[in-house]
Each structure stands twice: as structure tokens, then as C-alpha cells.
Amino acid sequence: MPKKEETLVSIVMPIYNCEKYLRDSIDSILSQTFKYFEFIIINDGSEDDSASIVNSYDDSRIRFIDDKFNIKLPKRRNQAISVAKGRYIVIQDGDDISEKTRIETQVRFMENNISYFCVGSWAKKINQEGDIVGEMDYPPSSNSDCIQMITKKCMNPFIDPTTMFRRKDFLELGGYSQEQSIYTVPDFDLWLRAIESGKIFANIQEPLIKYRENPDGMTLQHKDEMIKSHMIVWRLFMSKYIKERRLYVK
């Protein structure tokens, strides 16, 4: 574990019109059992009271970038990660809640598995009121099973806001794509490019976040567009790396 003055983890959270859930999301990070991190919150042109909520906090770990323009999630995440200092990047969405031991658990995994690029987890599913309405226990444990889920089932083997990954590797991969046609699935595109380059993944087989079913969130607001973008990315991956036998999946 790091010394107090070191930054091992950078938590990245772009926000857009999420005032209803934002305080619970921020509080879940500030109450983590792992204390030594920076928390980069970046406003993507919110038109509600999100910025005021962030400004109400007095915590030196929070770095708030308050931008008045909406330029979408991939650019905002890249912007935040470009100024991050941590060895590891943690993805947090403004309407989700991280369990208290999330960062501690993921840091321990990454420190003990230095060859891994990214670790995700399972999640509990909550409704608008915060009640648990289900579990997301499909992400597989091993790297080979993650690849199988992609190639055989055409599924994303990660719940995006559960992920922690190495900043150095992320930057080497070129960050999140800025391609407009796939801006709704920046995570899936990143994972496939990482697999192409030989990166290794895992999922911790326990829920480390509460994933909110938000009717105003991207998943529900842009469902059809996300499906189309998902297929664009998947088909490119399959044509380039499976048919050419450059990626061997057992």
C-alpha cells in the first residue's frame, strides 16, 4: 500500500445532469476504506444543480473541473485521465454507488496481479429510489472467459463503472475513441483494442458497486444507438482478429 503522500488511485467521474443521485455517489467514494486517492469530477455542461452539489464539498481529494459545454463521455474521461496522477484509474458514474471496500479490494487485486490491465466486478442493481432490485452477476472471472463472452456471445464482459485499470496501459492504447459513430460504447471499444494488444482482464466475483437503473441515463436514453455502436465495434474486432487467426481463443 502507498504512503499517505502518494497517489495510487485516481477516481474519474464525468457528470451530466445527475443532481438527484450525485450526493450519494460522491459520498460512497469519500467513505471508502481506502483513503489515499484523488477524485476527479468533471462537469460535462450540466444544466441542473450538479455543479453546486460538488462545490458544497470541502475535501482536498476532490478536483473539480467545471465545464459549461457538453462534449460527451469519451472526451470527458480522456480529459480527466490526462491530468490524473494515479497508477490506477477507477471509473465512477454520477448515479452509481461504490461499496465501501471497492477500491481497497481492487487495489489489492491489481497490486497482486501486476500483469493485469483491468479488473471489474459484479454489481447490485438498484432503482431510482436506491432499492436493490436485482444482481448483475454475469461478468466472468478469467481472461479467457471474458474473451469467450465477447467472441461467442457478442457481450461486453465488464460492467463499465465497476472497472479499475492501469493508467499507463490506457494511455498506450490511445485512450477512449473519439469516433462519433461509437461514442456510446467507449468502454467496449477500449476492451477490444486492449485484447488485441494482449492485455489481460479479470472480474472479482462479488458486487462492488450498486448500479442504478436511471431512466435519464445513457443506457436507457440511447439504447438503440448503443446496440448499433456495439455491433460496429464487435464486427470490426471479429473480422480483424478472429478471421485472420491473430487472436486464438480456446
C-beta of residue 233 within 8 angstroms of C-beta of residue 182: yes
Higher confidence at residue 245 or residue 177? 177
pTM for this one?
Answer: 0.93
Q: pLDDT for 160-211, tens place per residue?
A: 999 999 999 999 999 999 999 999 999 999 999 999 999 999 999 999 999 9
**What are the Cα distances from residue 70, in Å, to 43, 74, 112, 133?**
8, 11, 39, 31
Average pLDDT over residues 139-157: 96
Q: Which domains does the chain have, with CATH numbers?
A: 9-142+158-179+201-214 (3.90.550.10)
Query: Does pLDDT of 2 surpass 80?
Result: no
- Model confidence pLDDT, tens digit, residues 108-120: 999 999 999 999 9
Render pLDDT for 15-55 as a digit per residue (tens, 0 to 9).
999 999 999 999 999 999 999 999 999 999 999 999 999 99
Which region among 87-101, 186-200, 208-222 has the lowest average model confidence (pLDDT)? 208-222
Q: Where are the beta strands (DSSP E) in the chain?
A: 9-15, 37-44, 62-67, 88-91, 97-98, 118-126, 132-136, 164-166, 201-212
Average pLDDT, the chain: 93
Which pLDDT score, from 0 to 100, does residue 216 have?
Answer: 74
Rounded to the nearest 10 degrees, the angle between the axes of helix 186-196 and helix 143-153 is 120
Which has more pLDDT, 219 or 48? 48
pLDDT of 85 above 90 = yes
Q: Say if residue 250's pLDDT is above 70.
A: no
Q: Which residue has the higher pLDDT, 223 or 136?
A: 136
Q: What percent of the chain has pLDDT over 90?
A: 88
Q: What's the pLDDT score for residue 249? A: 47
Query: Which residue from 14, 207, 246 is spatially nearest to 126, judged by alpha carbons?
Result: 207
3-state secondary structure of 54: helix
pLDDT > 60? residue 6 = yes
- Residue 143 grid coordinates: 481472461
Q: 10 Å Cβ neighbour count for 94?
A: 29
